[in-house]
Amino acid sequence: MDKWFIEWFTSDEYSDVYAHRDEKDALNLVKLIAENIHTPKNSWLLDAACGSGRYLNEFSKLGFQSIGFDLSMPLLKKARETSSKTGNNFSLINADMRNVCINKKFDLILNVFTSFGYFYRDEENFKFINNSSLMIKNSGFFIFDYLNKNYVINNLIKYSQKIVNNKKIEEFREISDGRVIKKMTIGTESGIKEYFESVKLYSPEEIIEGFKSAGYRLVKKFGNYSGDKFDEELSERFIVFFGR
């Protein structure tokens, strides 16, 4: 199960499970960033684990020169379709965040929608953060959007189900060995399919220390996409703005 993300993010069912993640989340986060971070005109942006390109699309509208990378070819295909449909141009790269190296200095780097903590070794989880110091301008900012460990532990929904596109989706969640694990069973025309998610639960202090070790400084932190103050017990998200 240590490579669950390869099977899951390349599956047809991924978009069904996260169909509720509409453009509203992206718009709110983009607004939050724009209100708190001021970057030069035609700034360069890198979206790490960009998925279907929701954030690339929104930042391209604002005039950013945008590049995104992701391990999933199906999600990159959707991102290309979004670019073609909207006319918002951005570049896409198929890459593993542990090994990505782009010969470019960016004004803004994004790692959002809990695209962190997938691996079992801390060195692997923090590898992109460490490597990003070579890809960001001295005046640049890194936007990190992750789950809030204490909130997840105290409010874990162990079971849920829903119907999306005529598919019954059942989700079973548990905390084990410092990770939040979700097993999904999805009824499809070809039968029942099973997938897993496994994300390391890092505390806010561990995240901040990891970024500081990579040469970043804490600028601001928020507890949701609306920009409310972060509360370690009550906030669903841990959204942090780091500067160089």
CB–CB of 43/104 below 8 Å?
no
The model's pTM: 0.93
List pLDDT tens digits, range 186-216: 997 788 999 999 999 999 999 999 999 999 9
CB–CB of 25/225 below 8 Å?
yes
Say which DSSP state 116 is in. Answer: -
The Cα 220–Cα 206 span in angstroms is 16
Both tokens of residue 235?
A: 């906030």
Asked if residue 180 has pLDDT above 80, the reply is: yes
Give 118's pLDDT tier (boundaries 50, 70, 90): very high
The Cα 170–Cα 158 span in angstroms is 11
The Cα 158–Cα 20 span in angstroms is 19
Q: Write out the H or E segment, with its range, that includes residue 186.
A: strand 179-188
- Provide φ and ψ at 156, rounded to 5°: -60, 125
Query: What is the rounded average pLDDT for all residues in the chain?
Result: 93
pLDDT attached to residue 14: 80
Domains of the chain, with CATH numbers? 4-148+203-243 (3.40.50.150), 152-197 (no CATH)
Say which DSSP state 134 is in. Answer: T
